[in-house]
Structure 1
Amino acid sequence: MKRYYNLELSYDGQNYFGWQKQKDFETVQGTLEATIKEMIGSNFIKSIGSSRTDTGVHALANICFLQLPTEYTPQALMDNLNNNLPKDIRVTRCERTYKQFKVIYFAKKKSYFYLFKNLPQEIDSDYFTNITTPLDINKMKEAAKSFEGLHNFSNFCYKASPNSEKNKEIFTCKIIENQDILTGHNREGSYALIVEGSGFLKQMIRIIMGTLFNIGMGKVEIKDIEEAFSTTDFRKTGFITPGGGLYLKEIEFIRDPFKGHSVNS
């Protein structure tokens, strides 16, 4: 009898080539599945992540749908996983669910933040990005508002599938100053780009951040963002910033993945 669970996962992305499993690279999903297969002695498992974070990107709360051939109580499954997974991947919540729970399509809002600093010395970090060139933060704040609303983000993504939906709604896009959102790894005092939206294209937030960096350095104007929205012809306004500064904060669903569901024998 198949059993179904929803997991909430936090992970440090620096050692992984993103969420989605790949044949020749270590990923979060691949590590999770390999750990479970060894733990239960079976290959008959299935996992689906709500957000497919990119290489080096971190998560505070990614949600994963899990199908197992073995019965566990949610607490026992969480404890067993945390005892066997690498320390940079943690299960923070676990609950039974049902076969039809669509962990991708039931997501209604995803929240991310990107940490950066603006210090004159070179700093290499897997947890934030430092821009040594002086930035006009106030101008960046103004420009960030341009991304709010429903727009065609064709010019703010990387090699999106031709059939993918390019129109995305951004509910919040703002920069907050000198925030200690996370401590450790010298992250204290970072600026943070906060982005909340209905969904995101490949590397979209990192290109938005790169665009705002260019705005802050005077290389791009706010009108260039508006022009990039108004055409599907290629318009380069930003660059792809390093993945280490990006964090998936949380995902909100139209159906609560941790409400709890009865499992029929």
Structure 2
Amino acid sequence: MNYYLFTIQYDGTDFCGWAKQTKQRTIQGEVETAISQVTRNAQFRVVGASKTDAGVHAVDQKAWVELEFSPNLPGFLNGLNSALPVGIKITKIEPIKPEFRVRNCQQKTYHYQINLDTPNVFENRYYLQPKFKFDQNKLNEALQLFVGTHDFFNFSGLKEFELAAINSIRIIDSIRLKEEQKKLIIEFKAKGFIRYQIRMIVGAALAYAAGKTSLNKIIATLKRTHEKLPFLANPEGLTLFAIEY
């Protein structure tokens, strides 16, 4: 067998996330369909580094691919991109060792982007377009509560029965807020994230910054002395920006 690391970019708007699902268009499903078309029924396997949610984008998704043959990489890359639908592009294919583990990365970087300018139809797919005013200082104040080691169960899409298999205690290395050309970017860095974690954090922080909840309630929710909050930021603002090994 031969092993390769794919770097993939995608606009997640028209897809139901990364992971392959029955009767749903997903990024993994489209990549596997393209490989099937190009390799003509050769055996292969695809494992993604990050299971992005429906509507979430990626600049630097990684995928481990096992192939039973060794392709001509430039021709293989061109063939796959010709077979992929609009919105998905493989930017790089590189050989890797059999023992490489695509999910064992050093750090992932996600960007959550908010448009502070007049809504633009050519950007609506990639930014949250807030319909309310909020205080950026309060937004940052709330976001910093989540830096470090915490039990993020209440800021995730996990159910109680999933805790036997998924650890909800995670470490967020940093959360930075920066403004560029009337676009607010919230940068998250961590080894890994749980389903909906970033969107629920952003949703709660924005709610506090807009006067819709209190800081004490967010703290209590993080400590699991309060039930989950009803805030979930829209998926279009979230992009997997980088994965480092």
* Greater helix share, structure number: 2
Matched, 1:219 2:220: no
Structure 2: how far apart are the matches of 1:120 and 1:42?
49
Tell whether the 8 Å contact from 2:42 to 2:68 is kept in structure 1 after alignment. no
CA gap of 1:78–1:208, structure 2 versus 1, over 3 A, is same
**What RMSD over aligned residues (CA atoms) do the two structures have, in Å?**
2.0
| Runs of 4+ off more than 3 Å | 118-124
SS at match of 1:7: strand
Tell whether the 8 Å contact from 1:120 to 1:133 is kept in structure 2 after alignment. no
Which residue does the alignment assign to 1:248? 240
* C-alpha deviation, 1:118, in angstroms: 4.5
Which residue does the alignment assign to 2:132? 133
* C-alpha deviation, 1:130, in angstroms: 1.4
Tell whether the 8 Å contact from 1:208 to 1:238 is kept in structure 2 after alignment. no
Which residue does the alignment assign to 1:165? 167
CA gap of 1:203–1:170, structure 2 versus 1, over 3 A, is same
Gaps of 5+ in 1: 181-188, 254-265
Kindly provide the CA deviation profile for residues 154-174 of structure 1, in whole angstroms up to 9, marking residues without a partner as x: 110013522211111111112
Which residue does the alignment assign to 2:24? 25
Structure 1: how far apart are the matches of 2:86 and 2:97?
29
Which residue does the alignment assign to 1:117? 115
Gaps of 5+ in 2: none
TM-score normalised by length of structure 2: 0.91
Matched, 1:49 2:41: no
* C-alpha deviation, 1:222, in angstroms: 2.2
1:30-109 aligned within 5 A? 30-42=29-41, 44-104=43-103, 106-109=104-107
Structure 1: how far apart are the matches of 2:124 and 2:86?
20
**2:21 counterpart letter in structure 1:** Q
Tell whether the 8 Å contact from 2:217 to 2:226 is kept in structure 1 after alignment. no
SS at match of 1:107: coil
Q: Alignment length, in residue pairs?
A: 241
Which residue does the alignment assign to 2:203? 210
Which residue does the alignment assign to 1:257? none
Structure 1: how far apart are the matches of 2:79 and 2:191?
33
Greater CA deviation, 204-213 or 152-161?
Answer: 152-161
SS at match of 2:80: helix
* C-alpha deviation, 1:223, in angstroms: 2.5
Structure 1: how far apart are the matches of 2:189 and 2:222?
18
* C-alpha deviation, 1:153, in angstroms: 0.3
TM-score normalised by length of structure 1: 0.85
Structure 1: how far apart are the matches of 2:197 and 2:51?
13
Structure 2: how far apart are the matches of 1:38 and 1:118?
43
* C-alpha deviation, 1:101, in angstroms: 1.4
Identity %: 27
